[in-house]
């Protein structure tokens, strides 16, 4: 199973951009890169995902290295509400059954601390 | 559109007992995945149900079992509880439709304490 490596924690000032790195050197050609975040006392929340090209949505941007061995989640203007644990995850296709879905292999994530 | 709901929110059991956790998937979703999250760690995949059949399983013993019902809600059953089973149990629903296939929607979880 392909694995990801993230820093344990990062700090940023409020209203400044945040770049959260993730290394995934053993990524396979069919692995999507997913980012989820988990606020205190809540279940994880989808942030963004991508395969090869950079992606943007209303929450964040995802920058994927050309060799796909690393990626960066970019929060353009962090607020106190963005303080959470951010998980970088590779989609793991386990055995396919009918029109099967998939599961995600999670690491320990990066705890993002936002300073006012 | 209702989100993913889990019940109960908190549960206390003693070692050796059995527990059933419940999950109502988001409207229109046919897939439910269950995760165990120990304190300070990321979620660990237990198993997934797709259209009422188990669609894959993580590294958990057989005393962890599940069901998915025709309305796509799901149950997680754990027999012979052990102290290490104390954790937050998360349910996530998703759909195999192409537009949202890559997104899992999580409930707030059930906090299980085994004494």
Q: What is the pLDDT of residues A72-116, one digit of tens each?
A: 999 999 999 999 999 999 876 544 455 445 567 788 899 999 999
Q: What is the pLDDT of residue A1?
A: 57
- Give the pair of three-digit tokens for residue B42: 């990321």
Return the SS3 of B38. Answer: coil
Chain A interface test: which of B55, B58, B92 (most A C-beta within 10 Å) = B55
Of B33, B42, B51, nearest to A103 by CB-CB distance is: B33
Q: What is the mean pLDDT of chain B?
A: 92
Chain B residues within 8 A of A97 when measuring between CB atoms: 50, 53, 55-56
Quote the DSSP letter at residue B89. E
Who has greater pLDDT, B2 or A31?
A31
The reply to whether residue B42 touches residue A87, judged by beta carbons under 8 angstroms, is yes
Q: What is the pLDDT of residue A29?
A: 81
Instruction: Write out pLDDT tens, residues B71-105.
Output: 999 999 999 999 999 999 999 998 877 566 678 89
Q: How far apart are CA A18 and CA A12, in angstroms?
A: 7
Percentage of chain A lying above the pLDDT 70 cut: 87
The reply to whether residue A101 touches residue B42, judged by beta carbons under 8 angstroms, is no
Chain B interface test: which of A101, A102, A106, A110 (most B C-beta within 10 Å) = A101
Residue A41 has pLDDT above 90, yes or no: no
Q: What is the pLDDT of residue B46?
A: 93
Q: How far apart are CA A33 and CA A12, in angstroms?
A: 23
The reply to whether residue A101 touches residue B31, judged by beta carbons under 8 angstroms, is yes
Q: What is the pLDDT of residue B50?
A: 86
Of A42, A87, A103, nearest to B48 by CB-CB distance is: A103
Distance from CA of A2 to the nearest CA of B (A): 15
Instruction: Write out pLDDT tens, residues B25-39.
Output: 998 888 899 999 999
């Amino acid at each position: 199973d392909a694995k990801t490596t993230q820093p344990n924690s990062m700090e940023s000032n409020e209203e400044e951009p945040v770049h959260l790195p993730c290394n995934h050197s053993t990524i396979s050609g069919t692995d999507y890169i997913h980012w989820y975040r988990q606020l205190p006392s809540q279940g994880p929340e989808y942030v963004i995902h991508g395969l090869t090209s950079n992606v943007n949505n209303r929450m964040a941007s995802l920058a994927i290295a050309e060799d796909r061995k690393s990626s960066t989640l970019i929060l353009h203007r962090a607020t106190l509400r963005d303080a959470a644990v951010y998980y970088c995850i590779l989609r793991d296709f386990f055995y396919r059954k009918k029109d099967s879905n998939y599961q995600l292999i999670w690491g320990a994530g990066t705890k993002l601390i936002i300073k006012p | 559109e209702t989100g993913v709901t889990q019940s109960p929110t908190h549960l206390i059991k003693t070692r050796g007992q059995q527990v059933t956790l419940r999950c109502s998937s988001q409207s229109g979703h046919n897939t439910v995945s269950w995760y165990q999250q120990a304190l300070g760690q990321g979620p660990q995949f237990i198993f997934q149900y797709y259209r009422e059949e188990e669609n894959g399983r993580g590294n958990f013993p057989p005393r962890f079992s599940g069901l998915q019902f025709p309305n796509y809600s799901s149950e997680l059953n754990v027999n012979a509880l052990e102290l290490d089973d104390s954790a937050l149990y998360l349910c996530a629903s998703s759909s195999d439709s192409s537009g949202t296939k890559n997104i899992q929607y999580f409930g707030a979880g059930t906090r299980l304490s085994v004494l």
